Structure 1
């Protein structure tokens, strides 16, 4: 684990403090360290000094002990998404060739398989409960791989990337200064631990000796009920919108919540405003990053203060990270000019284990890019305009959907917007918008187009607009654009085209 020494520190100093909670389950730092040591000893008995555990348990009570034990020393943990179809998970396991698989569902693998919470897992753990945490949880080498993560697995085989211990240690060192996290905090992250936002929030909390709570799945009512005693909330914007709606229906005071961390998409102004009203004592931290790059930039809106700077900014570079924007020829572009975002620093991943097609993640010396496009302003703040492949060419004009989406989110009654390009015989592609919000269904197409025209050139104004009630989401809370395209093309009843 990238925090072996820290976990040992809390084992000695904060043994009775809750480290990990899910549902009614509680695990203190003392028991976590001892159970993780048993996991580490059991894995080394199978796979030697660098065992590989395939973890397929979702947000279960066994997650923290398994992840901490698997990444102790120079061990490696591959965190699978339990939402993957069984066939996809089997193919990932075939490629990984792990020493052990721990799962919560029936699955076949060439390696031994244990069911988390089952009697065989309990017996396996009990056989190693005399393991010494001081020995088993010793930190591994900074350059060694501790994590194999995966990009989206919603279609096809997900890409697998690796992370070194040193890359996470470098970012964890800045947790108190950037996000204000400390040992007195209680973090609630209701999203899946198989995704980077939730997994990092867990490791960050354990690094600081704080308490971490998650839930088997996101439920706005459940999150509201769990807020008592919570000081930090880590979510994606779609979760915040659901929680804000829940709090509007069930008003209450939550003065103990002092920090909200959001990532996965830019927070629109309406959601930010509602969030600050729901939690007036909370600083709001947004960060932009990628699985392969880790943190790139961070933006903080202090509690009680007016938002500073351009609302479309995703902040300034994370400490220790350099950002520059380059043109097609690789030349560095001046402030205000869009281009490919390149990153340099100690947080970048070690690359792909498989799935590298040479386009998704590229390196040029010390600099890396995932193909996202944006621009830097004179103050050094980063602005996103989208992924290069997401650009729509309509009537000979290049349009970045994110710019149109930002304009749509400024409209009264609109909380969320997605803009897509669909085939058109005349224009090549036509811009189609999908919107949601308390006033979205009552809008007319002409009203939306008229209001957009005040902020956008004519060729960036969508030709068709749909309202949606429930977005198709990944388990991490991101909108599945490919599913929306299918709904548009098929005339799906889940979309309502706005009247003229």
Structure 2
């Protein structure tokens, strides 16, 4: 089934319901579906063929929803690009996916124009507003013959490339089929929050990632996508929007945003009584912070654990469990919840053998929610999808009641404010500095971000470096959230007997007295963990 069929049915059954609202921009489902079919026709009129890739770099807006569903309808593959990336990073994703179209917002025009030569496969530049050398989104939408209906597709056909980095630091395109996106849609409604027609679901996190994925079950139920129109996360604006729109559900927030909401919250200042669910994930949140959040906003939090290779999600902890576990003082509040209804999870050892309950090992998962593989990367696909299982690279355990605990990462990923940052990617930039001999990038504890990027830098002999010079150099190549928050200049890096930098040993000194659990509700491991 074409994922656009969910929108087709919503337009038929709930055509008068508001599909989205973004400032003064709003439309009902009947009008939304018409714009999607027109945009799909306009893209095909450019000469695109079924299976071609369409990338977008857009701030949160309805144009994201229209682009995604137009690609579904036309049998094209959508490639979301994080709007916070550096143009060089955007260019890598566009080129790796061989995107023929790039749809972008006005805030990116200068940077993209400067680096335009790096976007080697892009033939059609489409701006939301008029810009030199680019077509205009609205004109493309109105230019081609409107599709009669979404094209028929095989459920295994790719429809979405979600770029996620690996230990090499190079982003990889996790390939989702229409079956994947359908599983995401149905599983969210079944296990996370059962959205109802006419409800208002608020998007405040980037829609190129988790929040935009949640838009699919919103559309399937004919509910309203309310999109924040602030440039960055602002708790006061969030509260005002919740009150004004009578928001019932926040699609997705990172724990750092929950902390910011707590800092800004004043009882009775805004009417938040309509809120029935807040979905969070992507990083740790400590039990005390979660307890404070429940005291402030009510027992409405639901946690999800997944990754780009198995989107929303592998496991989850619903609002009812948050309430009961907190009240009982149950340590399972520190888990990532129970495995989703139609997902299987195992804990395996070094030789891929299945370990007994309570044993610590790598988390592997399978189900329709798992990606087809990495785009044009058979080696990485073979390594990650072995014997029919997704090897997550996360270390954890399953207890005897099916609760999944995340204890560490087999890969050296840093999660800062809900963003995945891969040390090798940052290291490869730092070592390009002519004064740097070698470096190691680590995640270190941070009260607000959960983890912060910390670089340990060894200069070339006779060269003097300082913190700001390294951070400034990184600014030329990396998104702001990937830059080191701190830099330590050292004479030598510790090496093992094999000549490898002892990354884990270096990291441990920063984490003395801190938990290292990830993605769950707290920092303590269960008493029965190995």
* Band of TM-score, shorter chain: 0.7 to 0.9
| 1:433 shift after superposition | 5.8
Task: Check if 1:151 corresponds to 2:164.
Answer: yes
Contact 2:186 2:217 in 1 (8 A): no
Q: Could you say what secondary structure the match of 2:214 adopts?
A: helix
Q: Is the 8 A contact 1:262 1:285 kept in 2?
A: yes
Instruction: Give the drift of 1:155.
Output: 10
Is contact 2:373-2:381 (8 Å) kept?
A: no
Q: Which residue of 2 aligns with 1:205?
A: 218
In structure 2, distance between residues paired with 1:115 and 1:161: 26
Counterpart of 1:261 in 2: which secondary structure? Answer: strand
Alignment of 1:358-373 (within 5 A): 358=380, 362-373=384-395
What residue in structure 2 maps to residue 319 of structure 1?
341
Matched, 1:293 2:310: yes
- The residue number in structure 2 matching 1:28 is 28
Question: 1:77-156 maps to which residues of 2 (within 5 A)?
Answer: 77-104=78-105, 105-106=108-109, 107=112, 108=116, 109=119, 110-118=122-130, 120-128=136-144, 131-132=146-147, 135-138=148-151, 140-152=153-165
> Which stretches in structure 2 are left out of the alignment for 5+ residues?
417-422, 424-439, 449-478, 491-509, 511-530
TM-score (norm 2): 0.71
Number of the residue aligned with 1:18: 18
Root-mean-square deviation (Å)? 3.3
- The CA distance in 2 between the partners of 1:64 and 1:372, in whole Å, is 31
Partner of 1:343: 365
Distance (Å, rounded) in 2 between the aligned partners of 1:361 and 1:185: 42
Q: Give 1:156 shift.
A: 5.6
Q: Which runs of 5+ in 1 are unaligned?
A: 392-400, 406-419, 421-428, 438-477, 491-496
CA contact (8 A) 1:2 1:146 kept: no
TM-aligned CA deviation for residue 115 of structure 1: 0.4
Quote the Cα distance in structure 1 between the aligned partners of 2:53 and 2:141: 17
* SS state at 2:16 partner: coil
| 8 Å Cα contact 2:20/2:224 also seen in 1 | yes
CA gap of 1:67–1:153, structure 2 versus 1, over 3 A, is farther
Distance 2:84 2:489 in 1: 26
Aligned to 1:169: 182
State whether structure 2 residue 23 is matched by structure 1 residue 7. Answer: no
Assess if the C-alpha contact under 8 Å between 2:41 and 2:74 holds in 1: no
Counterparts of 1:102 and 1:298, CA distance in 2:
34
Q: Is the 8 A contact 1:231 1:256 kept in 2?
A: yes
Specify whether residues 14 and 381 from structure 1 end up closer, same or farther in structure 2 by C-alpha distance, changes over 3 A only. Answer: same
Distance 1:29 1:117, change over 3 A: farther
Deviation at 1:365, TM superposition (A): 1.4
The number of aligned residues is 413
Within 2, Cα distance between the matches of 1:111 and 1:482?
Answer: 31
CA distance in 2, matches of 1:21, 1:154: 39
- Aligned equivalents of 2:167, 2:291: Cα separation in 1: 32
Structure 1 position 76, deviation (Å): 0.9
Partner residue of 2:399 out of 369, 377, 383? 377
Q: CA offsets per residue over residues 30-79 of structure 1, 9 Å max, x none?
A: 21111100111112222133332111222133211111101214221111
After superposition, give the CA deviation of every residue in 1:307-351 in whole Å (9 maximum; x if it has no partner).
364121111111111111011121111122110111121111011
Alignment match, 2:258 = 240
Distance 1:91 1:356, change over 3 A: same
Match of 1:284 in 2: 301
Q: Distance in 2 between matches of 1:83 and 1:433?
A: 22
- What do the CA deviations read for 1:429-448 (whole angstroms, capped 9, x no partner)? 9x9963427xxxxxxxxxxx
Larger RCO of the pair (alpha carbons < 8 Å, separation 6+): 2
Deviates more, 1:80-89 or 1:243-252: 243-252
Structure-1 residue corresponding to 2:52 = 51
Instruction: Quote the residue 2:207 is aligned against.
Output: 193
Q: CA deviation at 1:276?
A: 1.3
| Structure 1 equivalent of residue 445 of structure 2 | 434
Following the alignment from structure 2 to structure 1, what is the Cα–Cα distance between the partners of residues 334 and 74? 42
> Once the 2 structures are TM-superposed, how far is the Cα of residue 305 of structure 1 from its aligned partner?
4.1
Q: Is the 8 A contact 2:239 2:272 kept in 1?
A: no
The whole-number CA distance in structure 2 between the counterparts of 1:2 and 1:292 is: 20
C-alpha separation in 1, matches of 2:168 and 2:238: 29
C-alpha spacing 1:376/1:85, structure 2 compared with 1 (3 Å) = same
Cα distance in 1, alignment partners of residues 223 and 66 from structure 2: 16
Question: Which residue does 1:68 correspond to in 2?
Answer: 69
| Deviation of the 1:483 alpha carbon | 2.3
**Local SS of the residue matching 1:252:** coil
Task: Tell me the equivalent position of 1:231.
Answer: 248
Deviation string for 1:218-277 (max 9, x for gaps)?
221211111121000121111111111111387434111011111102332122212212
* TM-score, normalised with respect to structure 1: 0.75
| Per-residue CA distance 1:110-152 (angstroms, 9 max, x = gap) | 4111101437322222223x614xx332453210001011115
**What is the DSSP-based 3-state SS (H/G/I as helix, E as strand, rest coil) of the residue aligned with 1:272?**
helix
SS in 2 for 1:483: coil
Bigger drift between 7-16 and 332-341 goes to: 7-16
Hey, what's the Cα distance between the residues in 1 that align with 2:76 and 2:183? 19
8 Å Cα contact 1:359-1:371 kept in structure 2: no
SS across alignment from 2:85: coil
Change (3 A) 1:117 1:141: farther
Residues 126 and 9 (structure 1), Cα distance of their counterparts in 2 relative to 1, 3 Å cut:
same
* 2:93/2:163 contact within 8 Å kept: no
Q: Deviations over 1:173-207 (max 9, x none)?
A: 23332122221321112011111x11211112111
